[in-house]
Amino acid sequence: MTMAAGRADRETPALARGHSWVAGAVEDAVVDLGRMIAIDTSFPPGRGYGDFAMLMETMTRPLGFESEHIDVPEELWRMPSGPAIGARTNLVATRGSGKPVCGLYFHVDTVPAAPGWRTDPQAMARDGERLIGLGAADMKGCIAAVLLALQAAEACSIELAYDPMLLFCTDEEGGLYPGIRYLAEQGRLRGHIVNFNGSAEARIWAGCFGLFNLLVRVHGQAVHAGEGNRQGSGLNAIEGALPLLNALAALKARIASRISALPPPPGKPALAAQLNIATIDGGTAGGQVPALLELTLNRRYMPEEAFDGALAEIEDTIRRAVASVPGLTVETVLTGHLAPTSDPAGPHWPRWQAAVGAGFGYAPEEFRRWGAASCSDFGWVQRATGVREVLLGGLGRPDRNIHAPGEYTTVSDIVSLARAVLSYLAADFRPDLNPDITISQS
């Protein structure tokens, strides 16, 4: 029996109609994706969250969802001169029929557009199958696919096994207090959750690293540049920071030697801890000795490492390096933190894996289990709720330029993800694998 025939044996007539409907209606989803990309939700600073929440409310209302705007309190995320600006508005959309709840999570923020884009990153461009724009794959295209799946269920009268709970959340891209963390700590999450911050590959998620961003301000003393070479006149913050930069380079090499036990992606090297200088800024003009240099350090720490220890290691390195330059002072500010996600296995994974296989055409033996040095805000969910299981899917692939110029997804992947989600939510898809069906119902 061929793989296609095997899938057909699992596909009911209602689901077959739904899958066909998805393919026929995908151009509407492409239009929806273009509207999402047009709203700038880049973090930092994250000014567009309110506008995006309004757009999501407009798109989900015709499907019978009731929406609630939930802002993360300012005292939790506001830092002096920190990168976040504007209300951190999350949208939770629900509809209830008394069925078990399945949360469908999306982070609405993107990274800022890096130099090198050949098209307007906020205006979706199309090149055949490719849909190009900031957030197309990570992860606004996932929103378009899930809404397409829900529309198919309505259009084809497909009974769902779950009441969907849509979670449109802020500040996943390294924020200090991600929206999903706040919702978890407030007890606002229900049921189990599918996190769409993942891959379109045949992957079983094994968890991921944590990260934190540390803003480092090196203070010197401004003076006319013509006076800067005189003894006791001015203090060049950039030149004075050279010992610090060298110390950080040495620390980067030591950190990179630490290897995690998390399984790496197939064919890739072992996952290692990381330290990177992510941003650097200093000086105002050629005629002035610079008084301030600002660095953002990005530290990706393994589940085997402790956050407090990783932070202390960097701060100790900074103190020792700056002490060698008389008069130079330094301050550090934590501007972002995502906790590691531990092994997210759980009882719903076999059915989700089957649904991904049905949507993308993967055979069961193609699935592999691996972790990542990329990070997720679901470590906070695990800590706040005590629930370990997190399902992971999405539109990520190695060639999709995620976080880089020319980020894209494809029409066919949106169709495949929509079919996977429709299958997973459908009551008649693999009831033998559904742990929420009681004995009396089976």
Q: How much is the pLDDT for 233?
A: 56
Mean pLDDT, residues 405-434 taken together: 98
Q: Looking at 2-155, which runs of residues are DSSP E strands?
A: 66-71, 89-94, 101-107, 125-127, 130-132
Tell me what pLDDT residue 82 has.
Answer: 83
Closest to 413 (Cα-Cα) out of 183, 144, 177, 190: 144
What are 187's two structure tokens? 């007890």
The predicted-structure confidence for 238-269, as pLDDT tens digits, reads as follows 999 999 999 999 999 999 999 999 999 999 99
User: End-to-end distance of the chain based on CA atoms, in angstroms?
Assistant: 28
Residue 376: pLDDT band with limits 50, 70, 90: very high
How confident is the model at residue 142, as a pLDDT? 98
Q: What pLDDT, in 10s, does the model give residues 160-182? A: 999 999 999 999 998 899 999 99
- Tens-place pLDDT, residues 140-155: 999 999 999 999 999 9
- What mean pLDDT do residues 220-227 have? 81
Q: Is 103 helix (H, G, I), strand (E, B) or coil?
A: strand
DSSP β-bridge partners for residue 438:
none
With H, G, I as helix, E, B as strand and everything else as coil, classify residue 165: strand
- Count of beta carbons in the 10 Å neighbourhood of residue 249: 11
Tell me, what's the pLDDT at 228? 57
pLDDT of residue 131: 98
- Cα(393)–Cα(395) distance, rounded to whole angstroms? 7
Nearest in space to 359 (alpha carbons), one of 429, 428, 424, 417: 417
| pLDDT surpasses 60 at 301 | yes
Range in 224-233, 314-323, 341-350, 363-372 with the lowest mean pLDDT: 224-233
Average pLDDT over residues 330-359: 97
Q: What six digits make up the tokens of 317?
A: 């390195």
pLDDT > 70? residue 7:
no
Q: Binning pLDDT at 50, 70 and 90, where does residue 8 land?
A: very low
Domains, the chain, in order of start with CATH, read 3-208+340-433 (3.40.630.10), 210-338 (3.30.70.360)
Find out whether 134 and 407 touch, Cβ atoms under 8 Å: yes
What are residue 96's phi and psi, to 5 degrees? -120, 135
Task: Let me know: does 373 contact 274? Beta carbons within 8 Å.
Answer: yes
CB-based contact 107:172 (threshold 8 Å): yes
pLDDT per position as a tens digit, 87-106 = 999 999 999 889 999 999 99
- What mean pLDDT is predicted for residues 313-321? 97
Which H or E element spans position 257? none
Pairing mode, if any, of strands 130-132 and 125-127? antiparallel
CB 379 within 8 A of CB 342: yes
Residue 232 has pLDDT above 60, yes or no: no
pLDDT band at 3 (very low <50, low <70, confident <90, very high): very low
* pLDDT score of 6: 40
Mean pLDDT of the chain: 94
Q: Is 121 left (phi over 0), alpha (psi -120 to 50) or beta?
A: alpha
Bridge partner list, 272: 259
Residue 163: CA atoms inside 13 Å, Cβ hemisphere, count? 15
Q: Looking at the predicted structure, is the pLDDT value of residue 375 above 70?
A: yes
